[in-house]
Amino acid sequence: MKPTLVLKMGQQLTMTPQLQQAIRLLQLSSLDLQQEVQEALEANPMLEMADEGDDDFTPDTTENAADDDAPATSLPEPATLEAIDQHSQSEDGNFEQIPSELSVDTNWEDIYQTSASSLPSSSDDEWDFTARTSADETLQDHLEWQVNLLPLSDTDHQIAIALIDGINVDGYLEETLEDIQASLDPDLGVELDEIEMVLHRIQQLEPVGIGARNLSECLHLQLCQLPADTPLLDQAKRIVRDYLELLGSRDFTQLMRRTRLKEDQLRQVVELIQALNPRPGGEIASGDAEYVIPDVIVRRDQNRWIVELNQEAAPRVRVNSHYASMVKRADSSEDNTYLRNHLQEARWFIKSLQSRNETLLKVATQIVEHQRGFLEHGEVAMKPLVLADIAEAVGMHESTISRVTTQKFMHTPRGIFELKYFFSSHVSGDSGEVSSTAIRALIKKLVAEENPRKPLSDSKIAGLLEEQGIQVARRTIAKYRESLNIASSSERKRLV
Q: Which tens digits make up the pLDDT trace of 139-197?
A: 888 899 999 998 888 888 999 999 999 898 888 998 888 888 888 888 888 888 898 99
**pLDDT at residue number 480:** 85
User: For strand 105-107 and strand 304-309, is the pairing parallel, antiparallel, or unpaired?
Assistant: parallel
Angle (deg, nearest 10), helices 215-224 and 233-242: 170
Per-residue pLDDT reduced to its tens digit, 315-353: 788 888 888 888 877 677 888 888 888 888 888 888 888
Show the low-confidence residues of the chain (pLDDT under 70): 1, 13-15, 51-136, 285-290, 330, 426, 428-432, 494-496
* pLDDT value at residue 219: 92
Nearest to 352 by CA among 95, 37, 42, 72: 37
Rounded Cα–Cα distance for residues 330 and 338 (Å): 14
Q: Is this model's pTM higher than 0.85 or not?
A: no
Q: Give residue 440's pLDDT.
A: 86
User: What's the whole-number average pLDDT of the chain?
Assistant: 78
Asked, as a colleague might, if the bond just before 207 is cis with ω within 30 of 0, I would say: yes
Say how far apart CA 415 and CA 404 lie, in whole Å.
Answer: 20
The sign of the CA dihedral 40, 44, 45, 51 is negative
